[in-house]
Amino acid sequence: MSGHSKWSTIKRAKGAADAKRGKLFTKLIREIQVSARIGGGDIRGNARLRDAMAEARANNMPKENIDRAVKRGTGELEGAEFEQITYEGYGPGGTAILIESLTDNRNRTVADLRALMTRNGGNLAEAGSVAWMFEKKGLISIGKNMAPEDRVMEVALESGADDIRDEDSTWDILTSPSQLEMVKAAIEEAKIPINNASLSAIPKNTVSLNGEDASKMLKLVDALEDMDDVQKVHANFDISDDELKQLASKSD
């Protein structure tokens, strides 16, 4: 697991995730709206919309909010039109960063991103600068307390998963993008609870950070994820578990 994934896990355990900062609903509404615009409002034929709606319900978003977002996406209601843009950049220690955004004003977003990156020891880069350092994969995380490794491995590999990784508190299953839904369905059919499942950019190699670079990197990631226009941040840094926990305790 990359340092970013481990840091996200620690933040969730601390209760310092986006929901607490009041940002999650904004991001989910945009994702629902864009998913409905691209693939239509019927979840039976739109896996992306189905997943976005499931995440919204899991985070207690009112049904009327979800329905309005779908209708804005399909054009039944008026609303801002968001476009998907992925930005690339560098962080402390030469780390590579991919920033997935949904924005209704690309000029505002790029200006805000450039200023934020500069303030936090990073910088935006040209398209193609770091994307090659990541591989698009389906990622399914299952809590270790939910199922034994041999059962997870059996179901995942038989349904087409590429790899299973033993992380601190989860079994992380990697799939090709096209196999994500099939593997997810097989795991659900086997009655194994899933923490989350989504397409992710997995770094091919990681950059080890410690000390001041580690602290700056985590502040940068937190600041990026706090932006309304930013949906996901992927980075190739790695920080030891002990240092991550020390930095988490300092941020309390």
- What would the pLDDT profile of 179-225 be if each residue is shown by its tens digit? 998 999 999 999 999 988 888 899 999 999 999 999 999 999 989 98
**In terms of Cα–Cα distance, which of 125, 70, 96 is closest to 205?**
96
What does the alpha-carbon distance between residue 113 and residue 85 come to, in Å, rounded to a whole number? 12
What does the alpha-carbon distance between residue 63 and residue 25 come to, in Å, rounded to a whole number? 12
Q: Do domains 83-132+205-250 and 133-203 have the same CATH topology?
A: yes
Helix, strand, coil share of the chain (percent; to 5): 50, 25, 30
Radius of gyration of the chain (CA): 18
Superfamily of structural domain 3-74 = Integrase, N-terminal zinc-binding domain (1.10.10.200)
- The CATH code for residues 83-132+205-250 is 3.30.70.980
- CA triple 35-39-43, angle to 5 deg: 80
Break the chain into its structural domains and give their ranges: 3-74, 83-132+205-250, 133-203
- The CATH code for residues 133-203 is 3.30.70.980
Q: What are phi and psi of 233, to 5 degrees?
A: -125, 130
- What would the pLDDT profile of 125-177 be if each residue is shown by its tens digit? 999 999 999 999 999 989 888 999 999 999 999 999 999 988 777 889 999 99
pTM: predicted TM-score of the whole model, two decimal places: 0.85
